[in-house]
Amino acid sequence: MNKSKVDDAVAYFSEGYNCSQSVLSAYCEEFGLDTETAQRVASGFGAGMGRLQETCGAVTGAFMVIGLKYGSYIKGDKAAKEQTYAMVQKFAELFEERNKTTKCADLIGADMRHGDLAFAMERVKEICPKIVEDAAEILESLMIE
């Protein structure tokens, strides 16, 4: 397994980038996307999409990477669309095997919108580095298939 991309994703997170930015940034240049643009695009997806605590940001970052690799960009390219959807579903399945869910609120176990934000941020520091690592490891395994 290519640990450098996994390490890069975790390093971005430790530098203060959100989980979505961290995963996308580790892979973006491989697919012709500069880091600044990747970080801007992914910035609203952290904390389960803008602290809505829906789909985990590490997961959405991984979905973006899958789109960069497999995504359709030619009108009517149904094969690429189906491959992308299949890879997204496979990623989600593997992520859920490790973490039981892809939902940020369930992973964190704290309410970032209406609860104690300080407590929630402590949970993020405690839990999310491993979540980012898991997402990047799963992504690595899928990228070599």
Q: What is the pLDDT of residue 3?
A: 64
Q: What is the pLDDT of residue 144?
A: 78
What are phi and psi for residue 127, nearest 5 degrees? -100, -40
pLDDT digits 0-9 by tens, 99-141: 999 999 999 999 998 988 899 999 999 999 999 999 999 999 9
Between these two residues, 90 and 1, which has the higher pLDDT value?
90
Q: What is the pLDDT of residue 141?
A: 94
Q: What is the pLDDT of residue 88?
A: 98
Asked whether 69 and 86 are in contact (CB, 8 A), the reply is no
pLDDT digits 0-9 by tens, 62-102: 999 999 999 989 999 999 999 999 999 999 999 999 999 99
Per-residue pLDDT band for 1 (boundaries 50, 70, 90) equals very low
Q: How far apart are CA 128 and CA 73, in angstroms?
A: 32
pLDDT digits 0-9 by tens, 8-56: 999 999 999 999 999 999 999 999 999 999 999 999 999 999 999 999 9
Q: Among candidates 112, 133, 139, 101, which has minimal Cα distance to 46?
A: 112
The C-alpha angle 23, 59, 12, rounded to 5 degrees, equals 20
